[in-house]
Amino acid sequence: MNALLSDWNTPFEIPPFDRITEADFAPAFKAALKEARDNTAAIAANPEPPSFANTIEAMERAEAMLERVSGVFFNLAGADSTPALEALQRDLSPELAAYHSEIMMNAGLWARVKALTPDGLTQEQARVLELYQKMFRRAGADLTGNAKARFAAIMQRLATLGTGFSQNLLHDERDWFLPLDDTDLEGLPEDLVSAMKAAAEARGKAGYGLTLSRSLAMPFLQASPRRDLREVVFKAWEARGANGGESDNRKIALEMLALRDERAKLLGYDNFAAYKLDGEMAKTPVAVRDLLMQVWQPAKAAADADATRLTEMLHGDGINEALAPWDWRYYAAKLQKEMHDLDEAEVKPYFGLDNMIEAAFDVAGRLFGLSFTPLDVPLYHPDARAWEVKQGERHIGVFIGDYFARPSKRSGAWCSRFRAQSAMDKVVRPITVNVCNFAKAPAGEPDLLTFDDARTLFHEFGHALHSLMSDVTYGFISGTSVARDFVELPSQLFEHWLGVPEVLEKHARHVKTGAAMPESLLKRLKAAENFDQGFATVEFISSAIVDLDFHTGAVPEDLMQAQAASLQALGMPEAITMRHASPQFAHIFSGDGYAAGYYSYMWSEVMDADAFEAFTEAGGPFDADTAQRLAAQIYTAGGSKDPETLYLAFRGKMPDAQALLKGRGLA
C-alpha cells in the first residue's frame, strides 16, 4: 500500500514519515492528479446552475489528495532533498504547471465561477469568490486561441526554470568546501571552531572546514583576521549560481525575466511588476519605489559614515587599500566591540537554541494563551522535532521545528505547512514547519545562536503562528494565504518580543551555568540593537530595487550588466553588496513568490514597527486587550478580508515610513 495514498492513522494525522519512501511519490502524484482532474471535470460538467456550494466549495475539495501529496513532497525537496527527489521535482514542475493551466483555462469551469455573484453569501464567502475570480483572470482564463496556448506554455517553462534555479543554487552551496587547519583559526570563537570541525567530519575530512552555510560563512567573515581567507570565502559566497557550467543561473534568470514580461503583456499589463502588484497593498511599482527611496537616502548616509570609520580601522592595521566587501563585517564587529564593548563570543552562550525555542513558545503563551507539548512521532529527519499546540484544552495544530544546516537542505530560513487549516466540512487544524540553517554543535556541546539567529527563529515562528492560529472556513484563505506585502507583518512583528528586556532576562541564560544575562551585558546588547543598520538597510534596498528594475524596464540582455546599472544609478557603496546577487536571488527566481515583491519585507516593516508601538501605547508588550485584538484581526484572520481592512481594524490608522526609520535608528 502506498503510504501517501492510504489513511494516516497517526497522531493528528501527521504524515507517516517512517512508511513513506521515495518510490511512493511518482505513483502518488499520478493518482492524485487523476483524482483532481476527475473532480474538476465533474464540477465543470455539472448540469445544475452554478452556486457557491457546487462550484467554489466543490473546488475547495477537488484537490485534497494532491494537496496532501504535494505538502509532503515539496517540504522534503526543500529541507531534506536527495538526487531522486531532485530528479522527480524536475519532472513534476512542468507537469503541475500544465495541470494548473488546464484547470484555470477550463472554459466550463471558468464560466461557472464567473457567473457567481456575492449576493446572499457571507462576508468570508464573498471574499473567497472575489479571490477565485481574480485567480482565474490572472491565470489567463479570459485568453483565447494562440494567446491561451502561449500563456500555458510560458507557465510550464517558468516552472521548469524555477526548479532548475533552486537546484543549481543547492548544488553550488552543497559542493563548495574550504579545508582549514590549526594555523587558520586565529581569532575565531570556540563555538565556530567546533562547528567548522563538525562540518569537516560530516564530509569525512580531517581538521576544519567552511561551507557556504550562512551560519558558518558569516561568523567567519566577522571574526577572522585573515584577510586572504575572508576574500576567498566572500567571493565563493557571492559566486553561488554564477560559477559557469551546468549550475550557472544567469541564463535561467534572463529567460525567466523575458517570459514573465511576455506573460504580463498577454494579460494587458505594461510589465510584470504592474501585474504582480495589482492586488497587493502597494498597488503600483511607483508606490514601491517611493517607499524604498524614502529609506534609501538616510540608510546610505549612515552606511557612508560607517564606511569612513571602518576604512580608518583597515588602514590602522597597515592595509592601505580601499575597504572591500570582505572587510566590512570584520571591522564592523571590531567597531561594535569598541563602541558597545560587545562581541558575539560573549553574547552567544546566552542564546542557546533550546532556550530561544522556549522563549518563542513563552511569548506565544503570554500573548495568545498557547501551550506547546513535545510529540514523540517519526519525522522526516532526526534533527526535526514536533510539538502539539493547544489553546487551553483546544487542539490548535502541530508545529515542527527543523533548525540545523545540512547538505540536503536549501539555504535560508522559511515557514511551510504539511496541511492547511480549514473548517468547511470538518475542523482541520494545520501542521506547520519552520526550517532554519543554524550551525549544529558537535555531539555533547550546546547549540548556540547569534542574536541575529535568534531573531530569525522568532521571525519564522511568527509565520508559524499565522499558520497555526488561522481560524477561517476555507483553506484557500487560511493562514499565510494573504497578500505578499502583508504576509511578513506577523513574522516581523513577532521579532520585537525577542528584544523585550523581561523576555531576555527570563530566557537569555548561560547554557552552562544557567545564570541570567548580566544586566550590563543586556544594556550593551540593547544599545547595540541598531548597530550597522546603514549596512543592513543598504544591502536590502539594493536587492529590492534591482528586483523592481528587472520587472519594470526592458528585459535585460545581460543579467549582471543590468544589475550593475541599477546599483550604479542608486550610488551603491563600493564596500557593500546586494543581500542577494541576482544568480542566487532565490526569492525572485526559484518561483514567482517574491518576484517584483522583495520590497514586501520593508512594506511590512512599516506596519510592524507601528503595530508594536500599539503595545507600548497600551502600557506594555503583553497588554491583554492589544494582544486579543492582534490575534483577532491579524493572526487568526488569514486572507478573509483585505489586508488594509485587517490592519485598520487592529490599529485604527495606517503608518508611514517614519515608524520604520525610527525602528531602525535612521530617523
Q: Which CATH number fits domain 349-527: 3.30.1490.20, 1.10.150.20, 1.10.1370.40, 2.40.50.140?
A: 1.10.1370.40
Phi, psi of 379 (to 5 degrees): -125, 180
d(CA 393, CA 370): 10
Asked whether the predicted pLDDT for residue 209 surpasses 90, the reply is yes
Closest by CA to 420, choosing from 99, 57, 68, is 68
Instruction: Name the percent of the chain in helix, strand, coil, to the closest 5.
Output: 60, 10, 30
Answer whether 402's CB lies under 8 Å from 412's CB: no
Residue 481 C-alpha cell reads as 494565504
What mean pLDDT is predicted for residues 26-43?
Answer: 98
Instruction: State what percent of residues in the chain have pLDDT above 90.
Output: 93
d(CA 177, CA 199): 9
Residues 6+ apart with CB under 8 A from 82: 22, 408
Residue 568: CB atoms within 10 Å: 9
Asked whether the predicted pLDDT for residue 411 surpasses 90, the reply is no
Asked whether the predicted pLDDT for residue 380 surpasses 90, the reply is yes
Closest by CA to 221, choosing from 307, 310, 329, is 329
Phi, psi of 351 (to 5 degrees): -125, 60
> What's the pLDDT score for residue 145?
95
Asked whether the predicted pLDDT for residue 443 surpasses 90, the reply is no
> What's the pLDDT score for residue 659?
79
> What's the pLDDT score for residue 82?
95
Q: pLDDT of 584-615, one tens digit each? A: 999 999 999 899 999 999 999 999 999 999 99
Indicate the SS3 state at residue 280. Answer: strand
What angle do helix axes 285-316 and 600-618 make, rounded to 10 degrees? 90
Residue 40 C-alpha cell reads as 474538476
Residue 136 C-alpha cell reads as 482565474
Burial of 375 (0-12, 13-18, 19+ CB in 10 A): middle
d(CA 448, CA 169): 26
Annotated catalytic residue 460:
yes
- The full 3-state SS of 283-294, as one line of letters, equals CCHHHHHHHHHH
Asked whether the predicted pLDDT for residue 279 surpasses 90, the reply is no
Burial of 5 (0-12, 13-18, 19+ CB in 10 A): middle
CB-based contacts of 513-518 (< 8 A; 24+ apart in sequence)? 517/350
d(CA 626, CA 13): 34
All CATH 1.10.1370.40 domain ranges of the chain, comma separated, are 349-527
> What's the pLDDT score for residue 278?
94
Q: pLDDT of 612-657, one tens digit each? A: 999 999 999 999 999 999 999 999 999 999 999 999 999 999 988 8
Instruction: State what percent of residues in the chain have pLDDT above 70.
Output: 100
Closest by CA to 359, choosing from 378, 372, 347, is 372
> What's the pLDDT score for residue 484?
92
Query: Which of the four pLDDT bands, split at 50, 70 and 90, describes residue 345?
Result: confident
All CATH 1.10.1370.10 domain ranges of the chain, comma separated, are 245-329+532-598
Residue 117 C-alpha cell reads as 455573484
What mean pLDDT is predicted for residues 239-258?
Answer: 96
Domain 11-142 has CATH 3.30.300.20: no
What is the DSSP secondary-structure string of 594-637?
A: TTTTTTHHHHHHHHHHHHHHHHHHHTSTT-HHHHHHHIIIIITT
Asked whether the predicted pLDDT for residue 398 surpasses 90, the reply is yes
Average pLDDT, the chain: 96
Query: Active site residue: 63, 344, 388, 460, which one?
Result: 460
d(CA 572, CA 384): 40
Burial of 437 (0-12, 13-18, 19+ CB in 10 A): buried
All CATH 1.20.1050.40 domain ranges of the chain, comma separated, are 11-142
> What's the pLDDT score for residue 478?
98
> What's the pLDDT score for residue 647?
97
Query: Which of the four pLDDT bands, split at 50, 70 and 90, describes residue 297?
Result: very high
What mean pLDDT is predicted for residues 184-212?
Answer: 93
Asked whether the predicted pLDDT for residue 462 surpasses 90, the reply is yes
Higher pLDDT, 175 or 250: 250
Residue 189: CB atoms within 10 Å: 18
What mean pLDDT is predicted for residues 29-44?
Answer: 98
Asked whether the predicted pLDDT for residue 658 surpasses 90, the reply is no
> What's the pLDDT score for residue 655?
87
d(CA 385, CA 359): 16
Indicate the SS3 state at residue 434. Answer: strand
Residue 368 C-alpha cell reads as 495568545
Q: Which residues pair with 349 in a beta bridge?
A: none
Asked whether the predicted pLDDT for residue 667 surpasses 90, the reply is no
Residue 35 C-alpha cell reads as 483524482
> What's the pLDDT score for residue 40?
98
CATH superfamily of domain region 245-329+532-598: Neurolysin, domain 3 (1.10.1370.10)
Answer whether 638's CB lies under 8 Å from 478's CB: yes
What mean pLDDT is predicted for residues 281-296?
Answer: 95
Residue 435 C-alpha cell reads as 526550517
Asked whether the predicted pLDDT for residue 553 surpasses 90, the reply is no
> What's the pLDDT score for residue 656?
82
Residue 391 C-alpha cell reads as 489553546
Indicate the SS3 state at residue 37. Answer: helix
What mean pLDDT is predicted for residues 119-132?
Answer: 98
Q: Which residues pair with 509 in a beta bridge?
A: 516
